[in-house]
Amino acid sequence: MNVLVTGSAGFIGYHVCNRLIEEGISVIGFDNLNSYYDVNLKNARIKNLIHKSESSSSSFSFEKGNLEDTSCLEFVFSKYQPNIVINLAAQAGVRYSIENPMAYINSNILGFANILECCKQHSIDHLIYASSSSVYGGNQLLPFAETHPVDHPVSMYAATKKSNELMAHSYSHLFSIPVTGLRFFTVYGPWGRPDMALFLFTKAINDNQPIQIFNHGNMIRDFTYIDDIVESIYRLISLPAAADPKFDPKQPNSATSWAPYQIFNIGNSNPVPLMEYIGEIERALGKKALKTFLPMQPGDVPSTSADTRLLERFVHFKPSTSVRDGISKFVSWYQDFYG
């Protein structure tokens, strides 16, 4: 197996590459190492992957480039001839998409179109790509299920992820490419992104600085530990999407298709109130947070919750790491990495 992982210097991409290397799989990492957040953290991830591959039976090659650079992406596909592609590269961040929407158009839409075209040209066996729980937008029926309509995004980030699902379906239908889309629910864990709540809260509490708590703390999230995400992805690699023989075009749903196309939620299925989550960070750090309560941010939603029954039936695995265990592991990594 020869796997191309885009976004390999990112949080989820790094952990996926790490697992594949452990399994003895040849991995090609692709990332633009942009400055959306600390490039030193991204470089440290890549350095770790290179070091790990050198002491294993696997191989890890890294190429720097942008998804929207057509010639660069074509070069990577031609040089390494991957048969599996895991597309985790994207411009991340709901709030930043309000300030800089064109970054999302370029990376998440134009870049993804280039991924699809390369997969078509090189007859890829299976494309797995990152979508997001944000596609559920203004939906209020919980838990979110893959069969629910996702037509009301509340941020440009969410709109680009919904676009990815539509684009993937068209290529799956037209060119019979097996594609699997993954709607991630608030992923956290060691090596996490500095712009996400767990990192921001941990850093602020550790430095005796106040934390910003939006919607006055009245938030609920389906926090999903990184190892559960990686285990799900690893199991899905060898289970390419297939046409659903029970799909009824007269009563369609967004989870499957007559084409080799599938959507899965990956969440913990155990939503946690934000204030309880903060309490676990305080417990792990052994100190209380200074709290600043603020109104809801534009583009945000008050609650998320994942229905993961489709995933559980398909891969025989249920994400279940508790926030207490997950936060403890993150805090241990944070204190070790940053001293």
Question: Taking a C-beta distance cutoff of 8 angstroms, is the pair 69, 87 a contact?
Answer: no
Written as six digits, the tokens of 124 are 């890829």
Which ranges of the chain does DSSP label H, i.e. alpha helix?
11-22, 39-54, 70-80, 94-99, 101-104, 111-121, 156-175, 197-206, 226-237, 274-285, 309-315, 323-338
Residue for token pair 């990956």: 266
Q: Would you state the pLDDT for residue 1?
A: 87
In the chain the domains, ranked by start, together with CATH numbers, are 2-192+224-268+306-321 (3.40.50.720)
Q: Would you state the pLDDT for residue 94?
A: 81
- Reported as a pLDDT band with limits 50, 70 and 90, residue 311 is very high
Proportion of the chain above pLDDT 70, given as a percent: 100
Question: Taking a C-beta distance cutoff of 8 angstroms, is the pair 16, 88 a contact?
Answer: yes
- Reported as a pLDDT band with limits 50, 70 and 90, residue 56 is confident
- Reported as a pLDDT band with limits 50, 70 and 90, residue 99 is confident
d(CA 283, CA 327): 9
**Mean pLDDT across the stretch 210-234?**
97
97 pLDDT exceeds 90? no
Cis peptide before 143 (omega within 30 of 0): yes
d(CA 132, CA 266): 9
Residue for token pair 């999302």: 104
Q: What is the pTM of this model?
A: 0.96
253 pLDDT exceeds 90? no
Q: List, for residues 269-309, the tens digit of each pLDDT value.
A: 999 999 999 999 999 999 999 999 999 988 889 999 999 99
Dihedral sign from CA coordinates of 251, 238, 223, 268: positive
Backbone angles phi, psi at 265, to 5 degrees: -80, 140
d(CA 13, CA 336): 21
**Mean pLDDT across the stretch 128-150?**
95
Residue 86, class by beta-carbon neighbours within 10 Å (0-12 exposed, 13-18 middle, 19+ buried)? buried
Backbone angles phi, psi at 273, to 5 degrees: -60, 140
Q: Would you state the pLDDT for residue 28?
A: 98
- Reported as a pLDDT band with limits 50, 70 and 90, residue 136 is very high
Catalytic residues: 157
